[in-house]
Structure 1
């Protein structure tokens, strides 16, 4: 991956999100200083990956279905942003995705994952897949829950063109795998997944 082209794509997308979506960031100053990190975000829109990538102060890699690389414009953008293609076969295989992601982490690269597995049809947080907890506990890498608000309203699953809706990206407190080290494997995964689910929920309305 070319760092130059990543930065160029980052600058273009940053301008787009700040102007068109009035992007705001919360909690970025609290990110762990160590790398690599796993960014685990809620997923309601195709805008989520670039929004999180722009919000994160560093290079972050993500996995994308290889069919997306053949889509005009989109394919070029995600390639410049360092997305790693996942074949249809690996896409169906949790083991294949886990293997690819662990490989990136072992190389010291931060990665972006979407524990819901697919875009939410209504913008609400869907049940999390167990692979997120397995990946975190197996790699020992800190997981930063990332809450994206407004992206679904800007470009829902039924939408074709982004609307000028405000988007906010919130970095929550990191989950440390060592905090679950004393638990049996299955219980550790269940406890980790619940902590992650709670962290990805929207903030309660003010005054409630």
Structure 2
């Protein structure tokens, strides 16, 4: 599970952004002042800090500087209403990894979040995932079934990975289409269902419905069972 700290004092931004992050499977903690965000960041084990530049009590630049004085591991995505290039440079010099200017499109921000977490190097995304005899090794991009490697096509691998990343949770069809195919407009096609059928065949998951590793949650999406 990826833990995100959201430091934003504007409820009109914090609430929908927190919900969007939660829908993507991230665990979100919200802080509304600079000192509280700094204390939480230094005292927790977060993977990403989304940091508003204009926080009360201590601005985002100072929060970022103090965090970087303590750790280089936490990814920092800065939110700023300022549009001057100098401000962006100052933010990056303070230790931010990326920035998004307000107002922003939610889809763009979520894409920046995913890209930033990927490029931070070997993190939880590279850790092997093992559920019910299935083992996925992201660093080697291979899948083993009861210890034997199986061959999956690219989309089958990505489909299995998103389900394993959220093992025990329902992953909506829209989320799968966006993350695996990059196009939610495919929701009216049979693309996802065909690939799910091929994936099930390759992992030996075509038995009685009650015994399948991958459960279909009708009208919502799919869930990979953990027991």
Structure possessing the higher radius of gyration over alpha carbons: 2
Q: Which has the higher strand share?
A: 2
Higher relative contact order (CA 8 A, sep 6+): 1
